[in-house]
Structure 1
Amino acid sequence: MSQPSQPNQLIYFAAAFGAGGLLSLMVLFNGTLAAYGSLFFASWVPHLTGTVAALIFLVFLRPKRAQQARPPWWVYLGGVSGAVTVMLTSATLNSALALSGTIALGLAGQMVFSLFADMRGLFGLPQRTPVRRDYVALMFIIAGSLILIFFGSGS
């Protein structure tokens, strides 16, 4: 299998960076909803909005299914984990962690779970043993998160 060309990799990096920015906005908006309502409300509003947007997309664009086979049962758990994630980030955003601490610790949690999923080959992923570079990156992410949380605010 050949490596993607450099311009393609740049698109992937830009898309991932943009997704991170959108994630920060989503956490901010959901935290604001939680401050004016409840964690349950802050979770249902974006999920209802996403459902309506997806239905509009399906009705007007009528995309073809990639495969006729049914997906594994566990893929439907993404909605549950998404709802729990929205509630937890909405709660922590309105705490001393604020937006930057919430995002930083969320990134650290994603990295830890990703390394575990790689090691075990979870969810059909190819099994991969993390290398020293992975652990060093995790150490920097956790250290940066702790610095941001404990020393980042002026108050």
Structure 2
Amino acid sequence: MRGVLFAMSGGFFLTLQSVANARISSQIGTWQAATLTQFTGFVVALLVMLVLRDRTYVEMRHVKPLYLSGGAFAAIILFSNMTAVHKLGVTMTISLFLIAQLALALVIDWRGWFGMVRRKLNGAQLIGVFMMIAGVILLKW
């Protein structure tokens, strides 16, 4: 149940962040907004870590370099998201982001990339993705 709540809150905050970032970027520029957003995210994460007194940060030096690319991906995500919101609106942007996330997640699970357990892909999953695509077509129509 907690996983569902965290997933839902992540979705809500992603939408709120998309709107806020688009507003900020229209005032100061897209890369500037991405920089500001990543910096404030760093500060909040650092403060939470300090308040929780989580000392596992000393293990950061053992993280594989490949996985450090997540931060670089975040900059690209922010830029893409802000640009898409300006061009497509919030609903279409979030819809397409979700389809792209789900499609890549299915491939990662199916292929076992990044050390994930390999999972079989089934027809219901593919139908679900196609239904989401159909939903976006209906939204656009």
Please point out which of 89, 92, 99 is paired with 2:90: 99
Question: What do residues 56-110 of structure 1 show as CA deviations (whole Å, max 9, x unaligned)?
Answer: 2333432031894712211111111111000011001011x10000000000000
- The verdict on how the C-alpha distance between 1:66 and 1:124 changes in structure 2, with shifts beyond 3 A counting, is farther
Distance 1:86 1:62 in 2: 29
Distance 2:50 2:103 in 1: 38
The answer as to 2:70 corresponding to 1:78 is yes
Q: In structure 1, what is the equivalent of residue 99 of structure 2?
A: 108
Distance 2:57 2:35 in 1: 29
Q: In structure 1, what is the equivalent of residue 128 of structure 2?
A: 137
- The verdict on how the C-alpha distance between 1:143 and 1:53 changes in structure 2, with shifts beyond 3 A counting, is same
Greater Rg over alpha carbons, structure:
1
- Structure 1 gap segments, 5+ residues each: 1-9
Q: What is the number of equivalent residue pairs in this alignment?
A: 140
- The verdict on how the C-alpha distance between 1:67 and 1:137 changes in structure 2, with shifts beyond 3 A counting, is farther
TM-score, length-scaled by structure 2: 0.91
- Give the letter for the 1:106 counterpart: F
Q: In structure 2, what is the equivalent of residue 123 of structure 1?
A: 114
Give identity over the alignment, percent: 24
Q: In structure 1, what is the equivalent of residue 46 of structure 2?
A: 55
